[in-house]
Amino acid sequence: MASEISGQSAGLTPFVPRAGVASTNLRLRRNHRHELIVWWREIDRVLLFLVLSLMALGAAAVAAASPASARRLSTAAVNLDDLHFFALHVRWQLLGLVVMFGASTLSREAARRAGIVLGFAMIFALMLVPVIGSEVNGARRWLSLGVSLQPSEFLKPAYAIAIAWILSWRLRDPNLPVIAITAALMVFVAGLLMLQPDFGSTVLFVGVWFVLVLLSGLPINHISIAGAAGIGAMVATYFLYDNARHRIDSFLGGGTAYDQVDLASRTITAGGWTGSGLWLGTRKLSLPEAHTDYIFSVIGEEFGLLVCALIILLYLALVVRVLLRLVEEEDLFTVLAATGLTAQLGGQAFINILVNLQLFPSKGMTLPLISYGGSSTVALCLGVGFLLAITRRNPFLQRERFSLRDAGVLK
C-alpha cells in the first residue's frame, strides 16, 4: 500500500493495456470469420462433397493396392511395408486438401492470375525436363527439386485457365486471332510433352483445347481442319513413337495373358459384384502399377463392381454438377475455364477407366483424386481449388443467363 501511494505521489501510473490493440485483434478475428462465412456460402458445396467423396474412396483404394505394389517394388536391400504407399498417400492428400481449400478462397480474378503465372512457370519447367529431368521407366518427366516434381501435372489446371483467358479476349475484340494463338500454345505444349515422351498427357491437353475452342465458337470448316490434323497427328505418332505403336498393336491384337491391360481386365472382374474383401484379393499381386494406373481394377477385385459403378457415377455427377452450375453464368471466362478444368478431370478419369476395362490402349494415366500420387495429387487438388474459386457465386444475387449467342460467338 505504501509503495502504491508513493508511486502515485511521484506521478507514476500503473500499466494498462491499450484498448486499440485488443479491438484490432477482435476486428481481425471477426473479419476472418466473416470471410469464412462468405466463402462457405459462395462455393459449390455439392461439388466439394463429390470431390471429398472421391478422395475418401481413393484413400481406401490405395490401402487395398498398397501391399501389391510394396511387395512388387521391395528388394533384398529395401523391404517396403505393406502400407507404405497408403501412408505416403494420406500425407499427400492432407497437403492437397490444404492447397485445395487455400485456392478455393481466391477471388475469380486472383484464381485467373494465379493460373496464368503458374502456367508460365510450368512451361519453363517443362523446357528444363529434357535437360536436367529424372528418367523413370524410359520416360523423362520429373524434376528433382528436393522432392520429385512433375511439371505437366501442375500445368494441367493452369493450361485450362490460360486457354480460357485467351479465348475470352474475343468479347473485347472479335477480330483477335484467339483460336490461332491458343492453337500455337497447344502445339508448343504438345511438343514439350512428346519430348519426354508423354503421349497420354498430350492427348488430354489437345482434347481440352478442342473442347474449349469448340465451345467458344469454332467455325464448322475449322472443326474439319482440326479433326483432320488430329487424325494426321495420331497416324504420325503411330509410326514415329514406338511405345504408342506397341500399345495400339497390343490393344487391337487382343494382347497376351501377360499384358498389363489384359491383367487389369481379369483383375477387375475377379471380385464379382461385391468384391473379395479388403486385402483378400490375389489377382492384384501380379498387376503392375496397382496403386496408380490400374487402381480401378484393384477396386473391382476387392470392393466389387458395384463400387466401381459408384465411382463412375460420382465422376458423372461431378461433371453434370459443374455444367448445371454454369447454365446461369454470365461471364465467358468463367464458362470456359470451369468447362476446361472439368473436361480435364473427367477426361482423365474416362481414359483411365476405359484402359482398365480393356476398351482403350494403355496410356499410363492415373485415376484422378483416387490413384496414389505425390505431385499429381497436389496438382489435382489445386485444379479443384481453382474450379471451386472460379465457380463461386453470391447466392443472393440474381443473374442473367449467359448465352454464347448473345456474346456473338454463335450466329
Confidence of residue 402 (pLDDT cuts 50, 70, 90): very low
Question: Among all chains, which residue has been given the C-alpha cell 470431390?
Answer: 51
Helix/strand/coil for 44:
coil
Supply 244's cell numbers.
Answer: 504408342
Whole-number pLDDT of residue 327:
85
- Percent of the chain at pLDDT > 90 equals 38
How far apart are the C-alpha atoms of 111 and 43, rounded to whole Å?
A: 14
Residue 221 has pLDDT above 80, yes or no: no
Mean predicted confidence (pLDDT) in 140-154: 81
Whole-number pLDDT of residue 367:
92
Confidence of residue 277 (pLDDT cuts 50, 70, 90): confident
Whole-number pLDDT of residue 240:
63
Whole-number pLDDT of residue 252:
60
Confidence of residue 250 (pLDDT cuts 50, 70, 90): low
Q: Of residues 248 and 410, which shows the higher confidence score?
A: 248
Task: Output phi, psi for 367, to 5 deg.
Answer: -90, 110
Angle at which helices 178-194 and 108-132 cross, to 10°: 40
pTM: 0.82
Residue 79 has pLDDT above 70, yes or no: yes
Exposure string for 358-386, b = 16+ CB within 10 A, e = fewer: bebbbbbbbbbbbbbbbbbbbbbbbbbbb
Whole-number pLDDT of residue 135:
72
Q: Of residues 243 and 188, which shows the higher confidence score?
A: 188
Whole-number pLDDT of residue 198:
82
- Percent of the chain at pLDDT > 70 equals 77
Supply 23's cell numbers.
Answer: 479491438
